[in-house]
């Protein structure tokens, strides 16, 4: 049986949204560690939703891929077998082309610019884009800046030549690694540690907390803070669930999600500092390269994006945003 359908059959017992003694229970699944700031933000969301609803709504959070991979969780949302999940915006490129813009390198000038985009009209527009595919974006979670880690030092873009780099299932990520001269290799997050150990890939790219909590630093002893992309996470809700909620319940859920995003940014700052400190203690060399060299190598991707009417327009409008 096709695995997502098998999972759907299994998860029906958990239904995405169920009522227990007049309590609406929402199942939220994700693939991250329970110590990850995103997981902690989801727990906070559940607490705020319970408070706002007078305990008539509850969120049960399943971490560590208990209910399936990232893509399988999205498919379960589409089928109505799961209430909510978190995914990288990169994974949503196949659901709505607007999400491709986040895969462009060095898209944001700084953190203030990024926040102004995500919390403004452009961010809301992109969140609403996948509703035709039966999923809806509620808010963005901070996912930091993605940087390279590998078994050999990467000090300039030339050092990426020929390296097999794990990426998410994202056409933009494939194009990015090719522009750097590497070989893009899509591998599920849960399989990456073993793939690094066995030499299936030479390295990967991600933010400091994910590099730390995944324990990939045990295999890759070089972390290059080149910060090529700042792809946010997206908190998704099943459109099937959304349509079952009344207007008041929707407001409570949206407010709780927005508040959890603010809480998550604070948690993220702490987790990032701790992650860099811990991997350094574990013997990882943290490299701070000349980012201008990396930006110059992939600048052509913005010119290529301009040919796409959706991505090109968003890239132009994002550049015009002033905090």
Summarize pLDDT for 45-56 with one digit per residue, the tens.
999 999 999 999
- Helix, strand, coil percentages (3-state) for the chain, rounded to 5, are 55, 20, 30
Q: How many helices (H) and strands (E) does the chain have?
A: 13, 12
Over the stretch 173-197, which tens digit does the pLDDT of each residue have?
999 999 999 999 999 888 999 999 9
**Residues 185, 88 within the same domain:** no
**Residues 24, 115 within the same domain:** yes
**Residues 52, 181 within the same domain:** no
**Is residue 11 predicted with pLDDT exceeding 60?**
no
Cβ atoms within 10 Å, residue 192: 18
**Residues 210, 84 within the same domain:** no
The pTM for the full model equals 0.87
Tokens encoding 142: 């901070």
**Residues 89, 199 within the same domain:** no
Q: Quick one: angle between helices 3-11 and 70-79, nearest 10?
A: 60
pLDDT at 2: 43
3-state SS assignment for residue 18: strand
The domain that contains 254 carries what CATH number? Answer: 3.40.190.170
The number of distinct structural domains making up the chain is: 2
**Residues 8, 107 within the same domain:** yes
Confidence of residue 94 (pLDDT cuts 50, 70, 90): confident
**Residues 191, 262 within the same domain:** no
**Residues 221, 262 within the same domain:** no
Tokens encoding 121: 């009209």
**Residues 47, 106 within the same domain:** yes
Mean pLDDT over each residue of the chain, to the nearest integer: 93
**Residues 156, 245 within the same domain:** no
Range of the domain at 166: 146-230+274-320
pLDDT at 278: 98
**Residues 49, 103 within the same domain:** yes
Sorted by sequence, the CB contacts under 8 Å of residue 211 that are 6+ apart come out as: 149, 217, 220, 223, 275, 279
**Is residue 115 predicted with pLDDT exceeding 90?**
yes
Confidence of residue 71 (pLDDT cuts 50, 70, 90): confident
Confidence of residue 169 (pLDDT cuts 50, 70, 90): confident
**Residues 184, 285 within the same domain:** yes
């Amino acid at each position: 049986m096709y695995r997502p359908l098998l999972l759907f059959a299994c998860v029906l017992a958990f239904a995405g949204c169920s009522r227990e003694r007049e309590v609406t229970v929402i199942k939220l699944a994700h693939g991250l560690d329970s110590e990850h700031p995103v997981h902690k933000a989801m727990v906070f969301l559940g607490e705020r939703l319970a408070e706002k609803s007078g305990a008539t709504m509850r969120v049960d959070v399943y971490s560590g891929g208990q209910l399936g991979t990232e893509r399988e969780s999205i498919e379960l949302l589409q089928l109505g077998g799961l209430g909510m999940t978190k995914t990288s915006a990169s994974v949503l490129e196949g659901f709505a082309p607007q999400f491709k813009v986040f895969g462009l390198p060095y898209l944001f000038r700084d953190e203030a610019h990024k926040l102004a985009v995500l919390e403004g009209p452009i961010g809301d527009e992109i969140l609403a884009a996948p509703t035709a595919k039966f999923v809806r974006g509620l808010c963005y979670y901070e996912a930091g800046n993605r940087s390279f880690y590998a078994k050999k030092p990467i000090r300039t873009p030339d050092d990426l030549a020929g390296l097999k780099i794990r990426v998410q299932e994202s056409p933009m990520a494939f194009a990015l690694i090719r522009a750097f001269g590497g070989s893009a290799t899509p591998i599920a997050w849960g399989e990456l540690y073993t793939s690094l150990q066995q030499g299936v890939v030479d390295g990967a790219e991600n933010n400091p907390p994910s590099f730390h909590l995944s324990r990939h630093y045990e295999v890759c002893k070089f972390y290059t803070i080149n910060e090529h992309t700042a792809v946010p996470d997206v908190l998704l809700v099943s459109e099937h669930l959304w349509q079952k909620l009344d207007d008041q319940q929707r407001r409570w859920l949206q407010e709780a999600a927005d508040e959890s995003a603010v809480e998550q940014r604070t948690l993220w700052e702490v987790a990032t500092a701790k992650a860099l400190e811990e991997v350094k203690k574990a013997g990882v060399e943290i490299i701070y390269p000349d980012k201008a060299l990396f930006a110059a190598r992939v600048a052509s991707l913005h010119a290529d994006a301009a040919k796409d009417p959706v991505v090109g327009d968003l890239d132009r409008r994002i550049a015009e945003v002033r905090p």
